[in-house]
A = this chain, B = another copy of it.
Amino acid sequence: MSLACAACPVRDSAACSVLEEEEREALARTGRTREIKRGELLFAAGDESTACATLVSGALKVSSVDQDGVERILALIHPAGFVGELFAPFAEHDVIALSDSRVCLFGRADLDRAIETHPALGRALLRRSQEDLHESRRLLELAGRKNAGDRVGGLLLALAHAASDSPCHPAARFDLPLTRGEMASVLGLTIETVSRSLTALVGSGAIRKTGGRGIELLDPARLEASSA
C-alpha cells in the first residue's frame, strides 16, 4: 500500500512533518505502510538494517532477550516515534508491536537520500533522537528506583503522560497498553511483584482500577515519590 499522508494522524508531529508538501510526496512515493498485529516482529536483532519506520498508530516495544531467556524491554515507542538504524549495519534490538499498529516504512537508501537533499529532515531526526535519548535515560532512572512500588508508580505516571493529549499533564484516566508481564519487563521486576505493587497502590488510595485495563489516577502527586 502506498502512503496517504493527507489523512495521516501524525502528519504534524512525525519527523516528516518538517518537509514541504512536494518533498513529503516524493518521500512518500519511496515508502509504504504496513500493518502489524500485536506481538508481531517488525525488526529482529541482528538483521541487516535495510529499513526504518515511523509509527503511525498503535505502540511498539524495543526489546532484547538476555542470557537466560528473559525479555527486557528497552524502550516504548508511541505514535510519531521513529525506529530503525540510520547508521549501524545491523539492528541492535528486536522491535515488536505491543498492540495492533500501523507504520510507515522507508528504505535506508531512500531515507539517506532524503536526509541528504533535505537537511531539515536530518535536523528533525536529530531532535527526535535526542528525545529518545532522554526517554531512555528517564527509563534508566525509573528502573533504578529502590522500591518496587516507586518503580510501578513512576511507570504509571509515564504511561499517563504518554496517554494524555496535553504534553505536560498526565491523563487522569487511561488504559494500560502493557500487560503485567510487560510492565515487569520494563522495570526489571517479576509479574507477581508488579501485581502486588498495584494492589498496594490501590489500597493506599493513589489509584483505582476501572474495568479490565483501565487505571484512574486519584493522587498523582503520591506517585511521584511514593514509599507506598
Q: Which residues of A contact B (CB under 8 A)?
A: 62, 64, 66-68, 70, 72, 74-75, 85-88, 92-93, 115-116, 119, 122-123, 125-127, 129-134, 136-137, 139-141, 143-146, 188, 224-225
Contacts and interface: CB of A to CB of B under 8 A. Distances in A.
Please give the count of copies of this chain that the complex contains.
2
B140 A74 contact: yes
7 contacts: A66-B141, A72-B144, A74-B140, A85-B130, A132-B133, A136-B136, A139-B140
Contacts of A133: 129, 132-133, 136
A139 to B, nearest CB: 6
Given A72-B144, A119-B122, A144-B188, A86 B136 contact: no
A137 B75 CA distance: 8
Contact of A129 (B129, B139, B188, B225): B129
Contacts of A93: 137
Contacts of A141: 64, 66, 72, 74
A87 B130 contact: yes
A86 B137 contact: no
A134 B92 CA distance: 8
A127 B86 contact: yes
Contact of A122 (B85, B86, B123): B123
A34 to B, nearest CB: 22
Nearest to A74: B137
Given A62-B137, A70-B146, A136-B136, 9 more contacts: A66-B144, A74-B141, A75-B137, A86-B126, A88-B130, A88-B134, A119-B122, A129-B129, A139-B140
